Structure 1
Amino acid sequence: MSFITTSENIHCKLCTKGNILCKGCQTTFSNNHFQRLQQELGVQLDDLSNICNSLHNPLLSSTTNNNKQQTNLIEKIDQWEEETKQKITLVAIEARQKVEQNINEILDKRNKDIGLISDEIREIEYITISTLKLDIEIKKEINWLSMIKVVETKVNLNQLETMKPRTIIDFQSNGKWNILGCSNKTFLQYISGLNQLHFYNDNGDNDEPIHWSINEHIKDICWSSHLNQYILLTPTQLYTMNNREINQSHPIPSQSESKLLSCTCSNQTLLLSYDSGQYE
């Protein structure tokens, strides 16, 4: 509380003697009354301080409680976060296991399907190989003697009609003699001096020559529709040829030393001619 002493003619309201001015209430007091005012104001200030303390304690307690509640709330949030993480981890593990299980089931099914397909392929290969072996064995068991007959016939050349050829094949023999044979779709030429075989298709196109490595020269060539192969005749042997591959020889039994000259086929019959003698 502030006060000033004034020399003006202003006196205390209570005793009209004082000259102390209170700056707070702008009232003039005497010295005694001013001290009493101080005491009263001190009492009021103490009461006000008590009131403030009484208000501060609940506020402080409330703040403490709020802090505890906030702490509890944060702890609950942390607990919720941890529980959520655990649940997410469990869900992720379960989802991963299901995906791996589905992948394994798909792979197992695919492996089983591949195994079945492989078994079918092996079975088909086995059947194919068995069929090829059977076909080869049947061809090996062909009774060539039953196909060989000697037939004497006469042909009137005047009755033959001349037809215009569909395809003309021009080939060079290089001054060597040639043996020719043909099927419905191919034409086979043998050049003796060069020991070469040439294949021609129905358009007259020539493939790479095939080297004839047999010691005997080819005497004649004919096509067997029954065997679906060319028959190559040497003086003492018969060879079959298909798809540019020369197969094993088939010796022809003979009671004399006569050499084979020519051959021709008709269905399942093979006709051969000799330079002398007769073959039955």
Structure 2
Amino acid sequence: MSQLCPINKCARTSRGLCDCCQKNLCLQHLSEHNALLVAELNPFTDEINALGNRLSTLNIQNITSNHHQKLQQWRDDCFKKINYFFERKCQEIDQLINEKIEQHRKQLNEISLKIADRINAQETTRKDIDSLNSSIAHLKTEMNKIEQICFTIDTRPLVIDDSFVVIQKTTEHEIDLSTLWRAYRTIDRPEDSFLSLADNDQHLLLHLNPNLCLFDREMNKVNQVLWNQLDIQDMCWSSTLDQFIVLGRKTIFLISENTMSINEVKAIREGDWLSCTCSDTVLFVSTNELGSSIVEFALVPTMKSIKKWKSPITCTKDNYIDGIVYKNENLALMIMNDIKKSLRIELRSASNLDYIWSIPLDVTCVKTIPFRCCALTCNEWLIVDYETEQMLQITKDGEIKTILHYYPRPYRATLFEGNKLVIVTTDSVLLHSIQ
């Protein structure tokens, strides 16, 4: 016996089973359901076209420039070592000849003194004359040999195989901070050192009063420069500029990784800054005020302001943006409510500040020290909570993954080289190895 179409007010006989709703529908409603499904294909076409356009406009040079720079640095270092070796061997040859010349100069002086003695005394013998004549003849022979000196130099070709430079695809793996190992390296922080830190693949930048200090991957100090400016609000690394950016309260400084030179960006004196972060093209800076703004600065060809996001797009008038961190086209914002003294983390799109997710945190903000977070692998985040002496690992979907109690009290953290966690505490900087 046939049955009616289950759609409300439809008196037609059902003719087939619809896959999407598992109902026996009439031909008209089957056709409508099919049209709706087909309509859902159109956005896919638009997305594929957009992805295709994005792929066709990718700048290979921009993507690979940082890696090319590393190879260039390796080549320059090799050239320096070869040149140093070459100079050392040239000096070795010169030294051998100089030693021979000095030996003959001493002999020449000795003969000259003997002759002078005989002349002053106005007395000599045939034996003296013969001896002097023999000595001079021998010295002439030896000096002739100097001009004809030759060396046997054995060289071997410099063999460079592929193991000298290994290029591997990096595969991010999720970090599990619940099994964080004990710190294996500790650096003392002098009193009045600023808390901020920044890193790239090679080096870590810290302020250890009174200097800005550069450390290598094992936390060995490799360079430093006296910091005689005012407060340091935040730091970040720009791969585009190939320099560290140090954020003062009113000014922005560029720090050369190679020379540690400090250069103020004099064109930028717009406001009271609090936090900063970098993408490949833009420096994002949050302002130190209620209803914080986010200012975008183009990095090249010169650093200049290109956009300013204001409240309420950034946050409401009773909020501060304590920290801002860029990763994979997104911005993580640490937002503190000045009235409730509450704290939350929000993830926004870096291009338009569209809201993605938010997590309220069980923290009462008593002190005036800004709360910060750092990016982890797999689009996860780490919040440093100095009030409760905790660190919170947040998943890419905005869920609390791990709560790690940490002592001494943590204030700042960064993931260094992908498998090291650097944590700034009250009076020390600790380096952890992570899995």
TM-score, normalised to structure 2, is: 0.24
Larger Rg: 1
Structure with the largest fraction of strand: 2
TM-score, normalised to structure 1, is: 0.37
Structure with the largest fraction of helix: 1
